[in-house]
Amino acid sequence: MHSDTPTPPRPLILGSTSPYRRELLQRLRLPFTCVAPQVDETPRTGEAPVALAQRLARAKAQDVARHHPDAIVIGSDQVAELDGQPLGKPGTHERAVAQLRAMSGRTVVFHTALAVVCHATGYAADDLASVEVRFRPLTDAEIERYLRAEAPYDCAGSAKSEGLGIALLDAIVSDDPTALVGLPLIRTARLLRAAGVTLP
């Protein structure tokens, strides 16, 4: 029997517990849920920062998609790179001071990798947005004042460009403005459309 009932859209899942990514995805005005991926984020020996970001984004999307095969799942990961080495989330004040001292007057590249997966349809695609961030020369007093004000210890590179951290910078070079915060929305929208999601 022929039915005119439209097929309901597939559930959309953000495979992340990041409040930054959740906030960004909300801008697309799509209903979604967040599910924490179970992925070991330890870098492999000699793994380049860009390869690490891409591997983890895919692993996060695949892990959540395995448990929710009918859903369209977004995975993302960001790795900051200085002199070819990954900069992780500092976690402590002391490590954040060390990171900002190392980045003072330097260019850091933030690689934000993205993967979109749906097991039911066999769709799997990924993309990468790399953002060049030029830090101005910073004094120890400026570093200390900034960290006390914003406490960005859960951010790779120890600075929040969407907040006060913008005052530490000389320039941001990017073709996807939200990539630095954690989810490149231009690329996310592109992959979601390719996965069959209706966007404005």
H helix intervals, the chain: 19-25, 49-67, 93-103, 140-150, 185-194
DSSP 10: P
The one catalytic residue in 63, 77, 127, 176 is 77
The 3-state secondary structure of 32-68 reads CEECCCCCCCCCCCCCCHHHHHHHHHHHHHHHHHHHC
Q: Let me know if 83 is a catalytic residue.
A: no
Q: Which residues contact 138 (CB under 8 A, 6 or more apart)?
A: 100, 101, 103, 104, 105, 168
Specify whether the CB–CB gap between 68 and 35 falls below 8 A. yes
Active site residues: 77
